[in-house]
Structure 1
């Protein structure tokens, strides 16, 4: 163990975050997401929710400030009546971590899946909220 590393971040996840370079993306996937079939690298984070994991990751992970939207969520499927409340949690978490505003991109489901397949890694969680999948684009340390 190391000091001040949240226990929710496994050694495998920390290694992956460190291996990522500027512009690489990581997907934090909810429990319904087809993680294994959509991942180049899969990291299991079973038993954990995305808000707690996002909070811990952002302690170490710089978001890309050279793109308009370094954060992307899966858009609600047309005709679905669900209004994802977890998105507000994500906005609050990111606002607490960064002094500049960070607009989110909302990506149609099939395009989100395709983008996930190209991501550096997919982190499979046990998050139960619907439309909780989120993509983070890594930036640089300034």
Structure 2
């Protein structure tokens, strides 16, 4: 049994296989997931696990150089965006229309679906390098 870090084998595998500029998505419960992208469904019930709890856990193991969010998050879910920004210190957060963000999910290695019920609580994380 793994002693530390992410215990979910699918998430652990996806992170370990990421190369520079590869992308993963952490999504609310409602984001459409392209059929060709790996779906890792963590949603148990409303709010479990939460979007931010999942982001924080992923960041323990993933080097992130850029994050992408929908501009609608800033107006509809402003507090969630502020919390996300605080969780990603030093990481540039690029803002785009929600339709563009959904299109970007087609490039992702995986979408991790949470139990988050906050509108537009989605982020695309782009892998950096540790050297």
Q: TM-score, normalised by structure 2?
A: 0.87
Q: Which secondary structure state, in structure 1, belongs to the residue aligned with residue 64 of structure 2?
A: coil
RMSD over aligned Cα atoms: 1.9
Matched-pair contact (CA < 8 Å) for 2:77–2:121: no
Task: Confirm whether residue 11 of structure 1 aligns to residue 3 of structure 2.
Answer: no
Structure 1 residue 84 displacement after superposition: 2.5
Unmatched runs of 5 consecutive residues or more in structure 2: none
Q: TM-score, normalised by structure 1?
A: 0.81
Give the aligned partner of residue 76 of structure 1. Answer: 72
Q: 1:105 aligns with which of 91, 94, 108?
A: 94
Query: Structure 1 segments of 4 or more deviating over 2 A?
Result: 81-84
Q: In 2, Cα distance between the equivalents of 1:106 and 1:74? A: 6
Matched-pair contact (CA < 8 Å) for 2:5–2:60: no
Q: Number of residue pairs matched?
A: 127
Q: In 2, Cα distance between the equivalents of 1:121 and 1:34? A: 12
Q: Which has the larger radius of gyration?
A: 1
Give the aligned partner of residue 61 of structure 2. Answer: 60
Give the aligned partner of residue 67 of structure 1. Answer: none
Matched-pair contact (CA < 8 Å) for 1:39–1:121: no
Matched-pair contact (CA < 8 Å) for 1:24–1:119: yes
Give the aligned partner of residue 89 of structure 1. Answer: 83
